[in-house]
Amino acid sequence: MKEIELPILPISVIGSYPKPKWLREAIRARAEGKIDEAHMEEAYNDAVSSVVREQELLGVDIPSDGEMRREEMVEYFAERIEGFKFFGKVRVWGNNYFRKPGIVGPLKWRGPMTVEEFKFLRSVSTSPAVKVPITGPYTIADWSYIIYYKSKEEATFEIAKIINRELKALEEAGANFVQVDEPALTTHPEEMEWAVEAINEAVRGLNIKVGLHVCYSDYRILKPYYDKLKVSQFALEFANRGFSDLEVIRGLNVELGFGVVDVHNRFVESPEAVEAAILKVLNYVKPECLYINPDCGLKLLPRKIAREKLRSIKIGTERVRKKLNEKGIIKTYLKSEVNCS
Amino acid sequence: MKLAIEFSGSFPRDEAVSNLHSLRKSGDIDERTFLEKIIAKELKLVGSLDSLGFSLFTDGMLWADDILNPVASLSGAEAGGLVRFFDNNFFVRAPIVKKEISFIEGNALEAYAKFLKAFPEERRAKLKAPIPGPVTLVHFSQNSHYSSHAELLNAWGKKFLIPLVEKLKSMGFSSFEVHEPSIVSKAISQELKEEGGKLLGEIFDSFSGNRFLLMTYFSASLVDAKHLSYAIRENSILGIDLFTPSGWRLVKSLSEKWASRIYLGSLNSRSPIPERSSKLRGWVERAEELGFSEVFMGNNAPMDFVPPRWAMGKLRKLSRSVLSKKR
């Protein structure tokens, strides 16, 4: 993979971004049959153009398409992989739901699920690198009812094969940074061994940058697997937990995507708070191995709040960059293999 | 053997209930209107349960986000960040304990009070008030005030739960449901579990005329039998999750030494697939063989993990399967 030059402490997002109000209205109209597929596609493209531009203007170095075409991270893939059936909405926290799928038949890859998303994102972004998030095999299995397969393990490895085909299709299309989202990874500590194997199966044979996002989890359970997971970045959530327990990232030999704003709280963190958090984590991670991002996807926030949070990230990060620049630390590189030991 | 069916904890929110929460959050309806509308939904739910033959039930907790959610408004603890509720894709806000815990008459009492008032007086004995257990409160607390888990446990039990139960009792509740999954969790030390069991026993002793269902779920081990035995009283019933590998072994062990009554968590709240009638009936027979004098069958845990339609389907199946057996 060709290395891409980035400013030190590159700012990225985890993936999702609040959908514009008009897009939500268009999705509703489409469901009611009031607009056709072509108009819907145009609306999605316009929304992606808009939120990508917004991220770039707010200082995001590696934008995503905001997952404008996705309703929910498991739903999106369950709708496109053969073998799933939806049972209905299940609550995740507060008043937030997802449509819970069940695996009721043999799983099959029907064809690329995210390649067109990537191509459009690439065509509208002016940034040298963009990120494509994709839900990992373990989380898709864990958040589904397992009915057809004898075990969750068997289902997870079937999904891993499908995700691997998808990631290879993305690589072939020119993607250079994919992020496997595995928020469920540490949920069942006794399943970690094979869950890690399944993730490695999903990313096997890739020559592009692969990140792993794990959030709202017990990172002490993840820690023993830092070196076993074949990824070059861990994007972890820390603002939600008040930046406590940073000790858990000691021993991480790849990059850290550091969550500096809470995405489930409308309180906007100040640039000073972001700066302080970054300075704190720099006691554990080399600046060349540190990326800055929100804790998780921003989609549940009002768009205005999401913007303000990104603005705080930009100002806070710039302040630290300035200090690093004075020491001659100016840039870093996006690459598939890193050594951060 | 006396056999009854019982609904415990929360019933999943349907879209209409979810919309009410959204309207309250956005300020489009006030708290009073929200509670009035929620209670109308709860009355409909318990009406269904009543007609299905459930002898005891909660209000379905449609007004609360989760079992820990009312704690912040009633204890002075702050609502913290989201934390996973055991091994589920379900998150709760951890109580942040920065000062002395004390019971305060917060907003959440309104929901209990208004529901009670709306429910026909002659059937109030069927209602249970769900509350979290002390070990679970310690497990989920982010504590920076108390110097040890033992102190924190004692504070949650004596400074919060006892006055809360007293208050709920004065409002008209006579049955309580203590959600205590942490007392069987592998994440909790044996020492804390033992202290927790003893504290629960003390709490139950303080209210000898009232019924307490001690709900445990998501885990079970024979090691826990001793801790749980401390909480067995004339007025308490243990709830065991039969969908954990050692669920039945624990039930058997309790029957041999300590318990004559049992609540069997017989509906798997984490799967939409209805349990087979033959399986449910078989469990009743097994409990009878173990010599229990009273058996209550119900959901193993809060039902938020399956969509409402499937949850109701399971409850109906339990009614059909078990009550026909009773006849």
In chain A, whose CA is at the least distance from the CA of B186?
A189
Cα distance between residue A59 and residue A37, in whole Å: 33
Q: Does B16 touch chain A (CB under 8 A)?
A: no
DSSP letter (8 states) at residue A156 = H
DSSP letter (8 states) at residue A297 = -
The gap from C-alpha A171 to its chain's centroid, in whole angstroms, comes to: 17
Q: Does A264 touch chain B (CB under 8 A)?
A: yes
Q: In Å, how far is A101's CA from the nearest CA of chain B? A: 11
Q: Does A100 touch chain B (CB under 8 A)?
A: yes
Is pLDDT above 60 for B326? no
Q: In Å, how far is A69's CA from the nearest CA of chain B? A: 23
Alpha helices in A110-245 (DSSP H): 115-124, 137-142, 152-173, 192-202, 219-222
Cβ count within 10 A of residue A272? 12
Cα distance between residue B103 and residue B75, in whole Å: 5
Query: Lowest-confidence range among A253-257, A318-322, B67-71?
Result: B67-71
Binary contact (B272, A145; C-beta < 8 A): yes
List the single best residue of B11, B89, B142 to mutate versus A (max A Cβ within 10 A): B89
Cα distance between residue A255 and residue A211, in whole Å: 9
Q: Does B21 touch chain A (CB under 8 A)?
A: yes
What's the CATH number for A4-19+60-334? Answer: 3.20.20.210
Residue A139 near residue A180 (C-beta atoms within 8 A): no
Binary contact (A187, B83; C-beta < 8 A): no
DSSP letter (8 states) at residue B307 = -
Which residues on A lie below 8 Å from B271 (Cβ)? 145
List the single best residue of A73, A85, A89, A147 to mutate versus B (max B Cβ within 10 A): A89
Q: Encode pLDDT of B6-60 as tens digits.
A: 999 999 999 899 999 999 989 999 999 999 999 999 999 999 999 999 999 999 9
Which residues on B lie below 8 Å from A85 (Cβ)? none
Residue A332 near residue A281 (C-beta atoms within 8 A): no
Binary contact (B88, A187; C-beta < 8 A): yes
Task: Supply the Cα-derived Rg of chain B in whole angstroms.
Answer: 19
- Going by pLDDT thresholds of 50, 70 and 90, the confidence category of residue A149 is very high
Which SS3 state, helix, strand or coil, does residue B56 take?
strand
Residue B273 near residue B314 (C-beta atoms within 8 A): no
Binary contact (A216, B83; C-beta < 8 A): yes
Which residues on A lie below 8 Å from B81 (Cβ)? 240-242, 262, 264-265
Is pLDDT above 80 for B325? no
Which residues on A lie below 8 Å from B20 (Cβ)? none
Q: What is the dihedral of CA A270, A276, A282, A284, to 10 degrees?
A: -110
Average pLDDT, chain B: 94
Cα distance between residue B39 and residue A246, in whole Å: 44
Q: Which two tokens stand for residue A121?
A: 């994102």
* Residues 6+ away with beta carbon under 8 Å from A323: none
Q: Does domain B2-13+50-326 have CATH number 3.20.20.210?
A: yes
Is pLDDT above 70 for B297? yes
β-bridge partners, B84 = B91
Give the percent of chain A with pLDDT over 70: 100
Q: In Å, how far is A143's CA from the nearest CA of chain B? A: 7
Cα distance between residue A183 and residue B198, in whole Å: 37
Would you state the pLDDT for residue B94? 86
Q: Does A144 touch chain B (CB under 8 A)?
A: no
Binary contact (B309, A88; C-beta < 8 A): yes
Which residues on A lie below 8 Å from B307 (Cβ)? 87-90, 100
Q: Does B81 touch chain A (CB under 8 A)?
A: yes
Q: Does B84 touch chain A (CB under 8 A)?
A: yes
DSSP letter (8 states) at residue B260 = S
Q: Where in chain A are the domains?
A: 4-19+60-334
Angle between helices B31-52 and B15-26 (to 10 degrees): 160
Q: Kind and range of the H or E element at B142?
A: strand B142-143
- By C-alpha distance, which of A162, A153, A154 is closest to A108? A162
Binary contact (B305, A90; C-beta < 8 A): yes
Give the percent of chain B with pLDDT over 70: 99
Which residue shows structure tokens 């917004």?
A54
Which amino acid, one-letter code, is at B86?
A: F
Which residue shows structure tokens 């299905």?
B52
Residue B160 near residue B70 (C-beta atoms within 8 A): no
Sheet containing A145-146: give its strands across: A81-93, A96-109, A145-146
Q: Which two tokens stand for residue A79?
A: 């709708």
> How many angstroms separate the Cα of B118 from the Cα of each of B33, B51, B105?
14, 18, 20
DSSP notation for A53-77: HHHHHTT-SB---TTTT-SSTTHHH
- By C-alpha distance, which of B172, B184, B191, B257 is closest to B214? B184
Which residues on A lie below 8 Å from B12 (Cβ)? 90-91
Q: What is the mean pLDDT of residues B102-119?
A: 89
Q: Kind and range of the H or E element at B153?
A: helix B149-154
Which residues on B lie below 8 Å from A262 (Cβ)? 81
Q: Does B22 touch chain A (CB under 8 A)?
A: yes
Q: What angle do CA A283, A286, A288 make, to 5 degrees?
A: 145
- By C-alpha distance, which of B172, B201, B213 is closest to B57? B213
Give the percent of chain A with pLDDT over 90: 96
Q: Does B87 touch chain A (CB under 8 A)?
A: yes
The gap from C-alpha B134 to its chain's centroid, in whole angstroms, comes to: 13
Which residues on B lie below 8 Å from A184 (Cβ)? 89
| Max Cα-Cα span within chain B | 56
At residue A204, what are phi and psi to the nearest 5 degrees?
-60, 135
Q: Which two tokens stand for residue B181?
A: 């999954």
Q: In Å, how far is A265's CA from the nearest CA of chain B? A: 9
Cα distance between residue B43 and residue B33, in whole Å: 15
Q: Does A52 touch chain B (CB under 8 A)?
A: no
In chain A, whose CA is at the least distance from the CA of B83?
A216
Cα distance between residue A277 and residue A239, in whole Å: 8
- By C-alpha distance, which of A325, A91, A168 is closest to B69? A91
Q: Encode pLDDT of A174-221 as tens digits.
A: 999 999 999 999 999 999 999 999 999 999 999 999 999 999 999 999
β-bridge partners, A212 = A180, A234
Q: Which two tokens stand for residue B229?
A: 């035995």
Query: Lowest-confidence range among A99-108, A109-118, A228-237, B224-233?
Result: B224-233
Residue from the list B21, B84, B307 with its beta carbon closest to the beta carbon of A87: B307
> How many angstroms separate the Cα of A245 from the Cα of each of A2, A242, A269, A284?
35, 9, 19, 11
Which residues on A lie below 8 Å from B83 (Cβ)? 216
Q: Which two tokens stand for residue B164?
A: 């809360």
Q: What is the mean pLDDT of residues B308-322?
A: 96
Binary contact (A216, B84; C-beta < 8 A): yes
Cα distance between residue B187 and residue B195, in whole Å: 15
Which residues on B lie below 8 Å from A264 (Cβ)? 81-82
Beta strands B294-299; B2-6: pairing state: parallel
Which residues on A lie below 8 Å from B309 (Cβ)? 88
Is pLDDT above 80 for B324? no
Which SS3 state, helix, strand or coil, does residue B179 take?
strand
Binary contact (B82, A91; C-beta < 8 A): no
- The residue that leads in pLDDT, B301 or B327, is B301
Residue A260 near residue A292 (C-beta atoms within 8 A): yes
Residue A113 near residue A86 (C-beta atoms within 8 A): no
In chain B, whose CA is at the least distance from the CA of A92?
B90
Q: Does A147 touch chain B (CB under 8 A)?
A: yes
Binary contact (B307, A89; C-beta < 8 A): yes
Q: Does B98 touch chain A (CB under 8 A)?
A: no
Cα distance between residue B125 and residue B119, in whole Å: 10
> How many angstroms separate the Cα of B187 from the Cα of each of A100, A189, A225, A263, B192?
27, 11, 20, 27, 11
Q: Encode pLDDT of B224-283 as tens digits.
A: 999 999 999 999 999 999 999 999 999 999 998 888 999 999 999 999 999 999 999 999
